[in-house]
Amino acid sequence: MHLKIDKITAPLERYFEGFQHLIFPNVCLQCSCELSRFEKHICAFCWDKLQRTYFESYEVASGMDQLFWGRIELSETFALYFFEKEKPIQDILHALKYQFKAPLGIHFGEVMGNTIFKSNKYKTIEALIPVPIHPQKRFLRGYNQSELLAEGMATILEIPILRNVVLKKANNASQTRKNRFLRWDNASEQFCLGKIDIPYQHIAIVDDVITTGSTLEAMAQLLRSHYPDLQISLLSFAIAK
- Per-residue pLDDT reduced to its tens digit, 190-238: 899 998 899 999 999 999 999 999 999 999 999 999 999 999 999 999 9
- If asked whether residues 163 and 218 sit together in one domain, one would say yes
DSSP 223-238: HHHH-TT-EEEEEEEE
One domain, residues 27 and 69: no
For residue 139, pLDDT beyond 60: yes
Least confident of 153-167, 168-182, 225-239: 168-182
State how far the Cα of 183 lies from the Cα of 181, in Å rounded to an integer. 5
Confidence of residue 5 (pLDDT cuts 50, 70, 90): very low
In this structure, the answer to whether residues 56 and 165 fall within a common structural domain is yes
State how far the Cα of 140 lies from the Cα of 136, in Å rounded to an integer.
Answer: 6
pLDDT tens sequence across 63-90: 999 999 999 999 999 999 999 988 889 9
User: Are 223 and 193 members of one domain?
Assistant: yes
Q: How confident is the model at residue 3 (pLDDT cuts 50, 70, 90)?
A: very low
H or E element: which one contains 168? strand 166-168
Within this chain, do residues 18 and 130 fall inside the same structural domain, yes or no? Answer: no
Neighbouring-strand partners of residue 167: 192
Helix axes 88-98, 102-117, angle to 10 degrees: 120
Identify whether residues 41 and 12 lie together within a single domain. yes
What average pLDDT score do residues 97-112 get? Answer: 90
| 79 and 151 share one domain | yes
Domain range for 196: 50-240
pTM of this prediction? Answer: 0.81
Q: Tell me what the mean pLDDT of segment 13-20 comes to.
A: 51
- Report pLDDT for 146: 97
> What are the residues facing 233 on neighbouring strands?
204
Last residue of a domain, one of 32, 49, 66: 49
Q: How many structural domains compose the chain?
A: 2
The reply to whether 30 and 70 lie within a common domain is: no
Domain co-membership, 183 together with 125: yes
Residue 138 has pLDDT above 70, yes or no: yes
Pairing of strands 202-210, 127-130: parallel
Question: Is the domain of 24 the same as that of 91?
Answer: no
Where does the chain have alpha helices with state H? Answer: 2-23, 44-49, 63-67, 88-98, 102-117, 135-141, 145-157, 180-188, 214-226
For residue 236, what are the CA distances in angstroms to 4, 16, 178, 209? Answer: 46, 37, 20, 6
Res. 179 pLDDT band, cuts 50 70 90: low
Is the pLDDT reported for residue 20 higher than 70?
no
Task: Report CA Rg, the chain.
Answer: 20
Looking at the structure, tell me whether residues 140 and 207 fall in a common domain: yes
CATH assignment of the domain containing 127:
3.40.50
Q: What share of the chain is helix, strand, coil (3-state, %, to 5)?
A: 45, 15, 40
Same domain, 41 and 57: no
